[in-house]
Structure 1
Amino acid sequence: MASSNPTAGAGSRRLRVGRPSATSRDELERLAFELFARKGFEQTTVDDIAAAAKVSRRTFFRYHASKNDLVWGDFDSQLAGFRDLLAACPPEVPMMDALRGAVVSFNRFNPADVPWHRRRMELILRVPALQADSTLRYASWRSVVAAFVADRTGRPQDALLPRQVGYATLATCIAAYEQWLADDGTDLAELLDTAMRELQGGFGGHAPTTAFPAAP
């Protein structure tokens, strides 16, 4: 659940009137996000994005398989980075400490990138079409966690524990992201660290706020 800042532009060898053609993934993303903000995600078409960038549909599809794919950014590269963070953790670090550290590090952004990432995650978590599209990407993300847990525990990746930790970690991250989007004043890394510590501790550190009647 991380991505780069879609703000880079591309130059042109010839003097042109108006905006130069976009020839980079980041520039296409930036222009698309501007259109999404003005028109709405579902009302914006690939043709709209290509026209804003002054490129052909064919050029658009060189960078992104679809409009939905554009919102996720370079997901495969980001996922590889997450896998590398987990692999680099020393084996003496307890498994859940290592996982928490990798999740937090993976979701740290330069201040200039935070507004763009917030807009990206608002789309991913709030647009129905993108929520449906997220299934395969979430499965890929969980599989990275499950592979790490399997390696640490000596169990098959499709065993219960690796699966369980993968699902629980993803749900924890989504909950933290939803809280972050609901409150502009919160720090994403701190929220994720807190949420992962709660998961790690089994949510056992909270006393009930009301007394429950004894069973008859």
Structure 2
Amino acid sequence: MTTTRRTALGRPSATTHAEIERVAFALFEERGFDATPLELIAAEVGVGRRTLFRYYPSKNDIPWGLFDRTVEDFAALLDAAPLDAPLWETVHHGVVAFNDFPRDADPPHEQRMRLILRTPALQAHSVLRYRQWREVIAAYVARRTGASPSDLQPRTVGHVSLALSLAAYDRWLDDPSASLPGLVDEAMQGLRAHLD
């Protein structure tokens, strides 16, 4: 596995979110998510457990990467759309763009999503992340329609968009040679009925 990097004073050198994720995903692949304690990840990265907590509040957060930043980018992407574009189209294209990841992502997006979507121990934690994602859509729809994010239509659009995206991911994980953005695009075609 990795070797501990140390500074001249004997302390571990600085690390990054990306490095932690690379090490953690290698361990998850080798040992399984449940059998990989946080202490082992910290040791392999060359930092203490408390230092690791400065990067990720829990082991369950590691597979999600920098999700808070990604969600902020998603909100900015929706907000940048022309206001004269149909609402369904803006949400549709925003969700497709959100799910278009570089093929050279490290760890690979397929590995990340396979772990998140097919590891029972991560399902409860995923509900929190899905909520954040749905709230971005609900807030955007509310701004565009003059509604409140807690009103039924914005919430419904958030839930429907998530369900359509997850269906596309299920299909993609069964056949990773398929285009994920293409599958999300195809699934999101059904959104128009909710916003026309």
Structure with greater helix share of residues: 2
TM-score, normalised with respect to structure 2: 0.90
- List aligned pairs for 1:33-52, cutoff 5 A: 33-52=25-44
Residue 74 (structure 1) aligned with residue 66 (structure 2): yes
Q: Does 1:132 align with 2:140?
A: no
Q: Which residue of 1 aligns with 2:46?
A: 54
In structure 1, how many angstroms separate the alpha carbons of the residues matched to 2:175 and 2:13? 36
Aligned-pair RMSD on alpha carbons?
2.0
What is the alpha-carbon distance in structure 1 between the residues aligned to residue 47 and residue 6 of structure 2? 13
- Classify 1:201/1:157 alpha carbon distance in 2 versus 1 (closer, same or farther; 3 Å): closer
Deviation at 1:151, TM superposition (A): 1.1
Q: How does 1:112-191 map to 2 (within 5 A)?
A: 112-113=104-105, 116-191=108-183
Alignment-derived partner of residue 96 in structure 1 = 88
Tell me if the contact between 1:150 and 1:157 (Cα under 8 Å) persists in the aligned partners: yes
Please state whether the residue corresponding to 1:111 is helix, strand or coil. coil
Q: Paired residue for 2:190?
A: 198
Identity %: 47
- Closer, same or farther in 2 for the Cα pair 1:60/1:137, shift >3 Å? same
Give me the whole-angstrom Cα distance separating, in 1, the residues matched to 2:14 and 2:34: 22
C-alpha separation in 2, matches of 1:185 and 1:63:
33
Can you list the C-alpha shifts for 1:58-87, whole angstroms capped at 9, x where unaligned? 211111101001111011100000000000
Range with bigger deviation, 106-115 or 46-55: 106-115
Distance 1:120 1:108 in 2: 14
Report runs of 4+ in structure 1 exceeding 4 Å deviation.
10-14
CA spacing shift, 1:84–1:201, aligned 2, 3 Å: same
Aligned length: 189
TM-score (norm 1): 0.82
Distance across 2 between alignment mates of 1:189 and 1:38: 29
Alpha-carbon distance in structure 1 between the residues aligned to 2:105 and 2:89: 26
Contact 2:21 2:107 in 1 (8 A): no
CA offset at residue 13 of structure 1?
Answer: 5.4
Tell me the CA shift for residue 199 of structure 1: 3.0
| CA spacing shift, 1:22–1:186, aligned 2, 3 Å | farther
Select the residue among 61, 65, 75 that pairs with 1:83. 75
Output one character per residue of 1:76-104: Cα deviation in whole Å (capped at 9) or x when no partner.
10000000000000011000100111111
CA contact (8 A) 1:83 1:144 kept: yes
Instruction: Tell me the CA shift for residue 201 of structure 1.
Output: 4.7
